[in-house]
Amino acid sequence: MTPKQIKELADKANRLRAEYSKLYELGDTHKAIGLEREYLNLRRRVIDEISSEVSRKRAVPLAEVKRRVRERPKKPRYATGIDVLDRELVPAKEYNGYNVGGFTLGNLIQIVGARGSGKSSIMMKIHGNISRREPVLWVDFEMGEARVVEKIEDFPHDEENLLYYNASREIDDIIDEIKMQYASGCRNVVIDSAMKIRAGRLQGYERASFVSDRLSELTSTLEINIFVINQLSQNSEHEGRAAIKHGNDAEYDADFIFFVAKLPKKDTSGKPMKDEIGAPVTDDSRRFLVCAKNRQDDRLFKVQITKADIFGGGAARASPRHEEVVFEPGDDGTLFESITRQREELE
């Protein structure tokens, strides 16, 4: 079956899903059940075709690989819509602080931070921006339908291209849904969050390792992007390094790792503020985004992102002074101090 035929089958299946869902709402259960069965049969055919297409791939001579690479069109880049970030997502040789880039396809992208750091808002901004160009899938195990509908209105988007999934949390079912939407043209997926994905009876590190391996394989074989929202390890602050919860293999499998960090609010003299019990006060108007791994462009960087960058409004600002992130020998590429301590001020 050709890619065009698979897409036609997937589009037909998606139309059937919309039809039977509407019939269930109208109370026409008998007709809805018939259409749902037809949908499930088509869905299984599409998923099997995608899986078969991957399994048919075989080793080929390097000369053939060279020819394919030479003749392949230049990979498009998907801008995030966050200008200060897009100006960093460019190849090292093209970086000048002004060129705008983005993510090419084929990446497993980890977005990591503590609770309340703004991970979901950053991803909704990116998710909405890509939807203005083509379909994008949001796999939601955190916010729920009502909250997602409310939050997405804060960002420019094309709702016809926003695909939403909040059904089974089993990794096999999630992968099947991604393959189904891939057949219809979806090439970018957001999963919120990885901690809620189930993998049979596996728990903790084994579960996280299995999930990241399966998702990494999917990004490579289908050449799609999967953005995974993840939690910061509870031991990060005590160990003096930032890390993904249960994430040794997740960090290895990832093509990108971004840490989202809260920044301290400062008084007029520039000193960090504290509340009445002596706890640090967070500056809710900005976040520090640190790229701790980048297989795409082989560049590490950090930028400050303001509320205006995410939600719009306010005057456009110049790009902050660029500071390349340099990791010392022996460091594993995930720093905590460099994330929580601000080293440059926005003008």
Domain harbouring 147, CATH code: 3.40.50.300
The reply to whether 217 falls in a domain is yes
Same domain, residue pair 113 and 50: no
User: pLDDT tens digit string along 39-77?
Assistant: 999 999 999 999 998 888 888 899 998 998 889 888 889
Whether pLDDT at 341 is above 80: no
Note down the domain range covering 58.
3-68
Range of weakest confidence among 116-130, 268-282, 294-308: 268-282
Range of weakest confidence among 34-38, 258-262, 296-300, 321-325: 321-325
Specify the pLDDT at position 296.
94
**Helix or strand or coil: residue 31?**
helix
Same domain, residue pair 200 and 264: yes
Same domain, residue pair 130 and 189: yes
Same domain, residue pair 120 and 81: yes
The reply to whether 94 falls in a domain is yes
Whether pLDDT at 321 is above 90: no
Specify the pLDDT at position 313.
61
Query: N- to C-terminal Cα distance for the chain?
Result: 57
The reply to whether 271 falls in a domain is yes
The tally of domains found in the chain comes to: 2
**Helix or strand or coil: residue 42?**
helix
The angle that helices 29-55 and 204-222 make with each other, rounded to 10 degrees, is 80
Using the CB atoms, write b or e for 67-106: b if 16+ within 10 Å. eeeeeeeeeebbbbbbebbbbbbbeeeebeeeeebbbbeb
Same domain, residue pair 191 and 310: yes
Whether pLDDT at 334 is above 60: no
Specify the pLDDT at position 315.
44
Specify the pLDDT at position 272.
87
**DSSP character for 328?**
P
Same domain, residue pair 159 and 288: yes
Q: Phi, psi (5° rounding) for residue 218?
A: -65, -40
Q: Give the mean model confidence (pLDDT) for residues 212-217.
A: 96
The reply to whether 345 falls in a domain is no
The reply to whether 266 falls in a domain is yes
The reply to whether 347 falls in a domain is no
Of 51, 68, 85, which residue is a domain's last? 68
202's CB contacts (< 8 A; 6+ apart) are: 210
Same domain, residue pair 237 and 158: yes
**Helix or strand or coil: residue 238?**
helix
**Helix or strand or coil: residue 297?**
coil
Same domain, residue pair 37 and 172: no
- pTM equals 0.85
Same domain, residue pair 58 and 79: no
With CA atoms as reference, report the closest residue to 131 among 164, 177, 91, 167: 164
The reply to whether 346 falls in a domain is no
On the 0-12 / 13-18 / 19+ scale of CB atoms within 10 A, 307 is: middle
* Percent of the chain with pLDDT strictly greater than 70: 87
The reply to whether 331 falls in a domain is yes
Specify the pLDDT at position 282.
85
Contact 5, 12 (CB under 8 A): no
* Cα separation, 196 vs 46, whole angstroms: 26
Same domain, residue pair 40 and 100: no
Specify the pLDDT at position 124.
96
* Cα separation, 261 vs 317, whole angstroms: 21
* Cα separation, 169 vs 80, whole angstroms: 27
Q: Is the peptide bond before 193 cis (omega within 30 degrees of 0)?
A: yes
Same domain, residue pair 116 and 63: no
Same domain, residue pair 60 and 79: no
With CA atoms as reference, report the closest residue to 322 among 32, 85, 58: 85
User: pLDDT tens digit string along 24-33?
Assistant: 999 999 999 9
Of 13, 41, 68, which residue is a domain's last? 68
Whether pLDDT at 269 is above 60: yes
Model confidence at 332, pLDDT cuts 50, 70, 90, reads very low
